[in-house]
Amino acid sequence: MLAACVWLAACSGGRDRVTEGDATGVLHFGNGTEPQGIDPHAVTGIPEWHILGTLFEGLVTLDPVTLDPVPGMADKWEVSEDGLTYRFHIREDAKWSDGRPLTAEDFHWSWWRALQPALGNEYSYMLFPLKNAEAYLTGKITDFDQVGVHVIDPHTLQVELNAPTPYFLQLMAHHSTFPVPRHVIEKFGVPTDKFTKWTRVGNFVGNGPFKLVGWKLNKFLRVERNPAYWDAAHVRLNAIVFYPTENSVTEERMFRSGQLHRTEEVPIDKIPGWRDNHPDQIRLNVYEGTYYYMINVKRPGLSDVRVRKALNMAIDRKTLTETVLKGVQVPAYAMTPPGTIGYEPPKLFDFDPEGARKLLAEAGYPDGKGMPPIELLYNTLESHRKIAVALQQMWKKNLNIDVAMVNQEWKVFLNTRQNKDFTLARQGWIGDYVDPNTFMDLWITDGGNNNTNWSNKEFDDLILRRIPAMKTRAERLAGFYKAETILMEEVPVIPIYTYVTKHLVRSSVKGMPPNLLDYYAFKDIYLEPEK
C-alpha cells in the first residue's frame, strides 16, 4: 500500500494546474456549485451568472471598476428627454458564435420568450420596467405588441418604459435580458419548453466573448475564446474552466495546492491565517447585500415600535462582527449597503443599552418583565446559529429578555417565513443591481418578500409613485433617504451586517478589480505568470 502511494506520488509530481494555466492563458475558476443550466431564462444563481457572462452579452456590459454601462451588443444608444424611451443601435458586426448575424429582432424575440407565462422564468421581473411587461406576464394582456419593445430596423431596437428607471441600463447587462438564439432553440423544441437539449455542448450557440466547449456534470465547464465575437481581439484569455466547488474547505485546499486561480468562498475560520500570511492573495470586499432579521409586527409585544427599537439598540454590532464574524463583515445600521451609487443610508441609532432599557420600560416591560415570548427563527447552518446565539445573549444581558432559538431545515424555514409564522426570522438580501431601490421596494405593503406585516402609506407612496417620477440623481437619493428613514424609525427589520465577498485569488490574475456587485468582465481578465 505504502509502496503504491510512493510510486503514484512520484508520477504525480510537477503538475500544477495554475502554473500551466498561467503559461497557456487558461483561468481556473472555483465557481461554488454545479450550474443549474445555461439557459439565461431558466436559472437564477450566482455560479450561472458567472458562466453566462462569458457565453452571452447583453445590449450593454458593465465597467468592472465603476459599474457604469459600456457598449456591448449595442454600440450606442439614445435616451429621450423624459427618460421613458431608449433607442439602442445594435452593432453591425454583432454575430452569434455560429457566425449568424445578430439583430434587433433577436432581442425582441428573446424578451418575448423571457416574458412567456408558460416558461416559468423566475427572473422575468427584471424586464418589468418595460411598458406592459408585467401585465403581459401575468396574463392581463395577451398582445405582445403592447409591450414596450419594438424593432425599428434590423439594427435599431426601441424600448419604452413605465417610468424613468435610472438603473435600467444596468439591467441590460444582466443575464435575464440577454439575447438567446431563436434559430437554435426552435431547432430543438418549442421556445417555452425548458427541457430541450439546445444548451448541450455541440448544440449551444451564444454571443459572448467565449463559447462552450466542454461540460462534465459535477466536474467542470469549459469555455474557450469565441472568434466570432465582435471584440475578439480584445479577449486575452484562451479559456476559462469553471469548477463546482461546493465545499469551501475543499476549495481552499484546491487553491493551496495550485488547482484554482480563484475561489468562490473562503471558510471564515481560515481568513485570519490568510490575512496574516498571504494578504496579497485574499480579497475581502463590501458586497451589495444585507443580513438582517425580519420582525413580525403583528406579534404581541412586537407590535409596539418602542419594543422593536429597543431590540435594535440592544445589539452590539461592532463586537458581533469583530468576534463572531472575525472582523470580516461590516456592521449594518440600515437596509441599503453604504456606497450604493454614492448613497449613504441614514444611521438613526447606535448600540445604546441604557436607551434600549428605557424604551422597553416605557412600553410597559421594565427590565423585561411581562414581555411576551420571542422566538428567533433561522435556517440550520452553523454560521447563522453563532449569530443567533450572540443576539440571544445580548438581549438577555441588555434587556433581560429571554429569546428562544428555533432552527429549521432550509425549505421548511422558507415555508414558515413565507407563511409569516414567526416572530423574528433571518433573511439575507442580495441586490439585483446597484441602486437603493432594490433594497427599498422590498418593504412595500404586501410585497412578495415583505413577510413582516409592516405597512406604511407614506413609504409606499414614496417608493411606488414619487421617487420614480424624480428627475435627478440627487433628488432620487434624497427620496430614498427619506424612505429609509421611515423604515428604520418603524423598525420592521433589524439589520445586522453588510455582506463582504471572500475570495482567494492568485497574484497572476490581472484585470479583475473588486466591485460592489462582484461582477466580472471576463474579456478583460488576463494572466501574468508569477515570478
Partner 1 sequence: MSRFIWMRLLQAIPVLLAVITFTFFLIRFAPGGPFDQEKAVIPEVKRALEAQYHLDQPLLVQYGTYLKDLAHGDLGPSFKYPGRSVNELIASGLPATMELGLYALLIAVVLGMAAGLMAALYPNTWRDYLPMSAAMTGICMPMLLLGPLLVLVFGIWLEWVPVSGWGDVPGDKILPSLTLGSAYAAYVARLTRGGVLEVMSQDYIRTARAKGLPERVVIFKHALRGGLIPVVAYLGPAFAGLLSGSFVVETVFQIPGLGRFFVQAAFNRDYTMILGTTTFLAALIIIFNLLSDVLAAWLNPRVRGALEGKA
Which residues form the interface with partner 1 (CB under 8 A)? Answer: 1, 4-6, 8-9, 11-12, 15, 34, 36-37, 39, 42-44, 117-122, 124-125, 137-139, 194-197, 199, 216-219, 243, 245-247, 249-250, 253-254, 256-257, 259, 409-416, 418, 427-429, 448-449
Three-state DSSP state, 26: strand
Beta carbon of residue 391, minimum distance to partner 1 (angstroms, whole number): 20
Beta carbon of residue 311, minimum distance to partner 1 (angstroms, whole number): 23
244 in Cβ contact with 218 (< 8 Å)? yes
Beta carbon of residue 12, minimum distance to partner 1 (angstroms, whole number): 4
Cα–Cα distance measured from residue 249 to residue 265, given in angstroms and rounded to the nearest whole number: 9
What are the cell numbers at 144? 405582445
> With respect to partner 1, which residue has the nearer C-beta, 13 or 99?
13
Q: Which of 17, 12, 46, 73 is nearest to 240 (CA)?
A: 17
> With respect to partner 1, which residue has the nearer C-beta, 10 or 233?
10
Cα–Cα distance measured from residue 438 to residue 447, given in angstroms and rounded to the nearest whole number: 12
User: Which residues are 340's β-sheet partners?
Assistant: 343
What are the cell numbers at 195? 427541457
> With respect to partner 1, which residue has the nearer C-beta, 4 or 233?
4
Cα–Cα distance measured from residue 380 to residue 383, given in angstroms and rounded to the nearest whole number: 9
Cα–Cα distance measured from residue 421 to residue 526, given in angstroms and rounded to the nearest whole number: 50
Q: Is residue 60 within a helix (H) or strand (E), and if so which, with residue range?
A: strand 60-62
What are the CA-CA distances from residue 311 to residues 102, 300, 376, 397, 498 (Å)? 56, 14, 12, 12, 19
Q: Hey, what amino acid is at 117?
A: P
What are the cell numbers at 318? 461592532
> With respect to partner 1, which residue has the nearer C-beta, 80 or 250?
250
Beta carbon of residue 126, minimum distance to partner 1 (angstroms, whole number): 11
> With respect to partner 1, which residue has the nearer C-beta, 42 or 163?
42
Q: Which of 214, 230, 210 is nearest to 522 (CA)?
A: 210
Report strand pairing: 424-430 vs 403-408.
unpaired
> With respect to partner 1, which residue has the nearer C-beta, 33 or 238?
33
> With respect to partner 1, which residue has the nearer C-beta, 151 or 414?
414
Beta carbon of residue 127, minimum distance to partner 1 (angstroms, whole number): 12
Beta carbon of residue 238, minimum distance to partner 1 (angstroms, whole number): 19
Q: Which of 483, 512, 514 is nearest to 501 (CA)?
A: 514
> With respect to partner 1, which residue has the nearer C-beta, 279 or 448?
448
Beta carbon of residue 101, minimum distance to partner 1 (angstroms, whole number): 27
Beta carbon of residue 253, minimum distance to partner 1 (angstroms, whole number): 5
